[in-house]
């Protein structure tokens, strides 16, 4: 026996087949429809932009880990996911160098400087998007209108203009008809202005469904997030279902609810916490859309709720199995003690 | 007709955590084979939870099967009996599979398996008689924990226990000895159940079997049906196969809907839970008076030449058992005593089988696969699967930085180390190891 070496380790000695990189791969697969549709509507440029953010994100992850003398983690594919989600949050016309800056901010400042995967306290892609929005306001608001088929030289020729969100949320108090807005069918398919990944609602729903079926994400956050927005918009629109549909299909709600609010690291661990998180995201999104000066509030809602996660988790610490509420002492006992 | 009911609450199935581990019950249809008498057995004086025994024999003594060779005057302890007849060769320190050194008695077998003269069926009229008899039999929980059975049965008068739960879940992968017990010794189990029911006056008796063992369920039902009236009193329950269905607290929840509070025992909610093998042994002991001198074990795993179920004298050398099963097919990389979820990885096969060991599993390189350890991504799977509703990843972090307040807030002491969290973790984190560390941190804090 002495020649053979046996492994001695703590139980359990069997493990599930799931791995971090497998989960990240599932997220990438779930984002493919949205990416493909962005290429359909915005042309090859969309793919070039995505390739730029992904390549920069992976390179930034590799180099920052190298400089920090930490082990290489690009194999877990999380940098690819961050790069991809960032690209989908950008206008297709954004200069590539700006997009690359976004990736570096997301990976180096937001993620690696806080310790890498699992340690960042806000969502890297959203934070990068917000920083880009304030750094390059003009380019970041250059919403190229999605065309089908994509205009060949759309960067110079394409029609840019207000997104449906901007139109809708400036005049929601007197919303009567969908005049001046794309049709609901166009909203569903994605033929309207917006960031390259958020326009096509069907592609996002397909990706979200895939993540739910593969049990990569729990349904609590997306359902409570979208559900809360729906309830508030139904009240704000005085029961107008058309208004409700525009609010749900437009802007970054689907992309945010399925792919960004569900980010493991920056959302609560437990079911109760996730419910509070989702509802919070929904309320802040709706309030910004209706009363803020910005047309869209998904990014801000998620980042604000990210910051609250430790507090939500503390408040929703589950009671252990079989927990009994301590019985209150009767008045007599208290009196006896006193 | 016995009643056939589904689990009151499919405890570990719905919302109450648990994981779907692969069953790998490869030896399910392998009948238990009696292993030839080993040349020598080593009997450690600590084969149970509680006080160790003190050897009552000395080198050179002739002993017979069933003769007491070690006992303790403490209540939480169980006597040790000679498991072969022969001569005491050594009394002194022996190394257990878990690395602990304890006193032990080595007996060289004379190959005759001569029974000790004084053995006769005990007279049992009352609960007190039963507890005395069970203690004398040396029985400890055969399901793996090794808690002395007479302690479990000595229910304090202030606790009203109305339910006996016979645990036949056998939720650990690979192990099939409980299953074989049901198939081969159904009558013993039912006799044991009737005796316990008669003496204690239990209102409910539930025999709970996981739904991946339909043959075992059928067999139990057949035998219970033959008993007409007596069988009517016994409920047979099918439980969803979900690990850790066989854990005591999960079992009580599934069988009765009652929840055992943290730090409490099943008796606090009116239940006694016994392993199916222990119940069958009680019946056999009351019939024959032969103490616990042998037990069934499953020998399996990718490195074992001929997986088998064996009946071996307690104290048989692990390597001898493996050799009897054809030895190793390939070089083993991990040898586990018990199941793969909660069993103990051993560093050496030169140690004896104890009362509570129910399996020897030997695995070759790569099976079971090891997952690369990465940083926690806070996916929450450990929280979802924890049957005790804990947050293992937070407890891990607090254990590493010895954050006592955090560990108290997150109830680290409640963990039963079932391993569901570590099984489910996509980042391959050794969460059970950290759970143990967490408890150690809390114990140290408590003793300050």
User: CA of B424: which chain A residue's CA is closest?
Assistant: A16
The share of chain B scoring above pLDDT 90, in percent, equals 72
Residues of A in contact with B375 (CB under 8 A): 73, 116-119
Give the containing element (helix H, strand E) for B151: helix B149-153
The share of chain B scoring above pLDDT 70, in percent, equals 95
pLDDT for A42? 87
Sheet holding B80-81, edge to edge: B54-55, B68-71, B80-81
Residue A334 lies in a domain: no
> Which of A2, A4, A16 to mutate to probe the B interface, most B CBs <10 Å?
A16
pLDDT for A151? 55
Q: Which residues contact A116 (CB under 8 A, 6 or more apart)?
A: A65, A70, A73, B375
Residue A10 lies in a domain: no
Put simply, the answer to whether B374 touches A313 (Cβ < 8 Å) is no
Give the containing element (helix H, strand E) for B13: none
Residue A328 lies in a domain: no
Residue A11 lies in a domain: no
Looking up residue A278, the CATH number of its domain turns out to be 1.10.3430
pLDDT for A31? 97
The answer to whether residues B108 and B359 touch, using CB atoms and an 8 Å cutoff, is no
Instruction: Compute the distance between CA of residue A127 and CA of residue A302 in angstroms, rounded to an integer.
Output: 10
- Residues of A at the B interface, defined by Cβ within 8 angstroms: 1, 4-16, 18-20, 22-23, 73, 76, 78, 116-119, 218, 264-265, 267, 269-271, 313-314, 317-324
> Which of A2, A7, A8, A13 to mutate to probe the B interface, most B CBs <10 Å?
A13
Per-residue buried b or exposed e for A51-70, using 16+ beta carbons within 10 Å of the residue's own CB: ebbbebbbbbbeebbeeeee
The answer to whether residues A246 and A168 touch, using CB atoms and an 8 Å cutoff, is yes
pLDDT for B143? 80
B259 vs A: CB within 8 A: yes
pLDDT for B367? 64
What is the mean pLDDT of the segment spanning B243-262?
90
B306 vs A: CB within 8 A: no
Assess whether pLDDT exceeds 60 at residue A3: no
User: CA of B20: which chain A residue's CA is closest?
Assistant: A16
Put simply, the answer to whether A270 touches B383 (Cβ < 8 Å) is yes
* Average pLDDT of the residues of chain A: 89
Q: What is the ipTM of this complex?
A: 0.88
Put simply, the answer to whether B342 touches A317 (Cβ < 8 Å) is no
For chain B, what is the largest distance between any 2 Cα atoms, rounded to a whole number of angstroms?
64
> Which of B145, B374, B405 to mutate to probe the A interface, most A CBs <10 Å?
B374
pLDDT confidence band for B10 (50 / 70 / 90): very low
Instruction: Compute the distance between CA of residue B213 and CA of residue B254 in angstroms, rounded to an integer.
Output: 17
For A210-252, how does the pLDDT look when each residue is reduced to its tens digit (9 = 90+)?
A: 999 999 999 999 999 999 999 999 999 888 888 899 999 988 9
Q: How big is the A-B interface in CB pairs under 8 Å?
A: 157
The answer to whether residues B289 and B120 touch, using CB atoms and an 8 Å cutoff, is yes
Distance from CA of B218 to the nearest CA of A (A): 30
Cβ neighbours, 10 Å, residue A314: 13
User: CA of A118: which chain B residue's CA is closest?
Assistant: B377
Phi/psi-derived region of residue A215, left when phi > 0, alpha when psi is between -120 and 50, beta in every other case:
left
The answer to whether residues B256 and B271 touch, using CB atoms and an 8 Å cutoff, is yes
pLDDT confidence band for A187 (50 / 70 / 90): confident
Residue A156 lies in a domain: yes
Instruction: Compute the distance between CA of residue A213 and CA of residue A205 in angstroms, rounded to an integer.
Output: 12
pLDDT for B360? 95
- Lookup result for tokens 């049992």: B124
What is the mean pLDDT of the segment spanning A79-86?
97
pLDDT for A157? 46
For B67-110, how does the pLDDT look when each residue is reduced to its tens digit (9 = 90+)?
A: 999 999 999 999 999 999 999 999 999 988 878 889 999 999 99
| Residue predicted with more confidence, A335 or B418 | B418
Which candidate from A8, A14, A314 shows the least CB-CB separation from B341?
A: A14
Put simply, the answer to whether A117 touches B390 (Cβ < 8 Å) is no
pLDDT for B347? 86
For B307-324, how does the pLDDT look when each residue is reduced to its tens digit (9 = 90+)?
A: 999 999 999 999 999 999
User: CA of B344: which chain A residue's CA is closest?
Assistant: A11
What does DSSP assign to residue A259?
A: I
Q: How many domains does chain A have?
A: 1
Instruction: Compute the distance between CA of residue B18 and CA of residue B32 in angstroms, rounded to an integer.
Output: 30
pLDDT for A200? 92
In chain A, where does DSSP find H-type helix?
20-42, 44-67, 78-88, 96-104, 124-135, 137-140, 154-157, 164-170, 184-189, 201-213, 220-236, 241-249, 253-255, 271-291, 298-315, 331-337
Exposure of A231 in the CB half-sphere (CA atoms within 13 A): 9
pLDDT for A337? 58
For B365-413, how does the pLDDT look when each residue is reduced to its tens digit (9 = 90+)?
A: 876 667 888 999 999 999 999 999 999 999 999 999 999 999 999 999 9
Chain B, window 412-441: residues with a beta carbon less than 8 angstroms from a chain A beta carbon: 414, 417, 419, 422-428, 430, 432-433, 436
The answer to whether residues A254 and A201 touch, using CB atoms and an 8 Å cutoff, is yes
Instruction: Compute the distance between CA of residue A118 and CA of residue A104 in angstroms, rounded to an integer.
Output: 18
pLDDT confidence band for A283 (50 / 70 / 90): very high
Residues of A in contact with B16 (CB under 8 A): 321
B374 vs A: CB within 8 A: yes
pLDDT confidence band for A144 (50 / 70 / 90): confident
Q: Which of B88, B50, B90 is nearest to B67 (CA)?
A: B88
Give counts: helices (H), strands (E), chain B.
14, 18
Which candidate from A6, A271, A324 shows the least CB-CB separation from B334?
A: A6
Assess whether pLDDT exceeds 50 at residue B272: yes
Assess whether pLDDT exceeds 80 at residue B361: yes
pLDDT for B95? 86
Residues of B in contact with A78 (CB under 8 A): 377
Residues of A in contact with B377 (CB under 8 A): 20, 23, 78, 117-118, 264-265
Distance from CA of B314 to the nearest CA of A (A): 22
DSSP string, A160-172: B---HHHHHHHSG
* Average pLDDT of the residues of chain B: 90
List domains and CATH numbers for chain B: 3-29+121-288 (3.40.50.11540), 381-447 (no CATH)
Residue A5 lies in a domain: no
Instruction: Compute the distance between CA of residue B157 and CA of residue B348 in angstroms, rounded to an integer.
Output: 45
Residues of A in contact with B350 (CB under 8 A): 1
Residues of B in contact with A7 (CB under 8 A): 333-334, 345
| Residue predicted with more confidence, A109 or A326 | A109
Instruction: Compute the distance between CA of residue A271 and CA of residue A224 in angstroms, rounded to an integer.
Output: 11
B244 vs A: CB within 8 A: no
Residue A12 lies in a domain: no
What is the mean pLDDT of the segment spanning B254-278?
92
Put simply, the answer to whether A11 touches B341 (Cβ < 8 Å) is yes
Put simply, the answer to whether B341 touches A218 (Cβ < 8 Å) is no
**SS3 category, A57:** helix
- Domain residues for the domain of A122 are 20-315
Q: How far apart are the first and last CA of chain B?
A: 58
């Amino acid at each position: 026996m002495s020649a053979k070496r046996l492994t001695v380790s703590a139980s359990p000695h069997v493990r599930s087949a799931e791995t971090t990189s497998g989960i990240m791969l599932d997220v990438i697969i779930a984002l493919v429809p949205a990416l493909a549709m962005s290429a359909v509507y915005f042309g090859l440029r969309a793919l070039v932009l995505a390739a730029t953010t992904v390549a920069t994100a992976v390179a930034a992850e590799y180099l920052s880990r190298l400089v920090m003398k930490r082990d290489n983690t690009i194999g877990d594919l999380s940098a690819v996911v961050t790069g991809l989600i960032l690209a989908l949050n950008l206008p297709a016309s954004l200069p590539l160098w700006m997009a690359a800056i976004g990736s570096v901010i997301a990976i180096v400042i937001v993620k690696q400087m806080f310790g890498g995967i699992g340690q960042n306290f806000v969502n890297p892609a959203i934070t990068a998007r917000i920083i880009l929005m304030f750094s390059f306001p003009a380019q970041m608001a250059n919403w190229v209108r999605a065309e089908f088929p994509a205009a060949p030289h759309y960067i110079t020729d394409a029609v840019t203009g207000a997104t449906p969100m901007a139109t809708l949320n400036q005049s929601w108090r007197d919303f009567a008809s969908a005049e001046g807005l794309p049709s609901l069918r166009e909203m569903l398919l994605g033929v309207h202005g917006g960031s390259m990944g958020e326009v096509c609602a069907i592609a996002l729903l397909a990706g979200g469904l895939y993540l739910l079926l593969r049990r990569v994400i729990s349904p609590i956050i997306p359902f409570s997030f979208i559900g809360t927005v729906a309830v508030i918009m139904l009240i704000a629109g005085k029961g107008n279902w058309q208004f409700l549909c525009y609010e749900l299909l437009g802007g970054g709600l689907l992309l945010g609810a399925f792919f960004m609010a569900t980010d493991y690291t920056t959302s609560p661990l437990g079911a109760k916490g996730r419910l509070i998180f989702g509802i919070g995201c929904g309320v802040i999104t709706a309030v910004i859309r209706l009363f803020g000066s910005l047309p869209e509030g998904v990014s801000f809602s998620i980042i604000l709720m990210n910051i609250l996660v430790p507090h939500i988790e503390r408040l929703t610490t589950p009671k252990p199995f079989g927990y009994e509420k301590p019985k209150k002492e009767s008045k007599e006992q208290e009196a006896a003690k006193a | 007709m016995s009643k056939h009911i589904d689990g009151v609450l499919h405890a570990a199935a719905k919302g109450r955590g648990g994981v779907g581990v692969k069953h790998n019950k490869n030896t399910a249809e392998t009948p238990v084979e009696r292993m030839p008498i080993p040349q020598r057995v080593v009997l450690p004086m600590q084969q149970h939870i509680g006080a160790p025994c003190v050897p009552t024999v000395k080198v050179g003594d002739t002993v017979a099967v069933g003769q007491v060779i070690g006992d303790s005057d403490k209540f939480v302890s169980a006597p040790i009996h000679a498991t072969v007849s022969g001569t005491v060769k050594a009394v002194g320190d022996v190394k257990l599979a878990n690395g602990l050194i304890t006193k032990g008695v080595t007996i060289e077998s004379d190959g005759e398996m001569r029974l000790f003269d004084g053995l006769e069926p005990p007279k049992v009229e009352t609960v007190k008689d039963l507890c005395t008899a069970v203690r004398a039999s040396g029985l400890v929980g055969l399901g793996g924990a090794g808690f002395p059975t007479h302690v479990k049965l000595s229910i304090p008068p202030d606790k009203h226990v109305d339910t006996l739960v016979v645990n036949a879940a056998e939720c650990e992968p690979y192990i099939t000895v409980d299953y074989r017990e049901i198939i081969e010794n159904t009558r013993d189990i039912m006799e044991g159940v009737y005796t316990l029911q008669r003496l204690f006056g239990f209102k409910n008796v539930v025999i709970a079997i996981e739904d991946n063992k339909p043959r075992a369920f059928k067999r139990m039902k057949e035998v219970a049906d033959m008993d007409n009236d007596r069988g009517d009193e016994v409920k047979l329950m099918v439980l969803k196969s979900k690990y850790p269905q066989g854990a005591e607290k999960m079992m009580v929840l599934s069988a009765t809907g009652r929840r055992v509070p943290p730090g409490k025992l099943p008796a606090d909610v009116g239940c006694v839970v016994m392993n199916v093998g222990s119940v069958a042994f009680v019946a056999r002991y009351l019939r024959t008076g032969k103490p616990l001198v042998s037990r069934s074990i499953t020998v399996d795993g990718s490195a074992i030449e001929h997986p088998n179920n064996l009946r071996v004298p307690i104290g048989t050398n692990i390597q001898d058992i493996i050799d009897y099963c054809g030895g190793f097919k390939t070089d083993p990389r991990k040898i586990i005593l018990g199941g793969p979820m909660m069993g103990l990885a051993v560093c050496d096969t030169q140690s004896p089988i104890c009362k509570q060991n129910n399996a020897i599993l030997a695995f070759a390189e790569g099976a079971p696969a090891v997952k690369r350890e990465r940083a926690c991504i806070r996916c929450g799977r450990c929280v979802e699967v924890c049957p005790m509703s804990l947050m293992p990843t937070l407890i891990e972090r607090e254990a590493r930085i010895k954050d006592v307040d955090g560990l108290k807030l997150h109830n680290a002491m409640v963990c039963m180390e079932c391993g569901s969290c570590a099984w489910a973790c996509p980042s391959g984190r050794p969460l059970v190891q950290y759970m143990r560390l967490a408890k150690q941190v809390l114990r140290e804090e408590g003793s300050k």
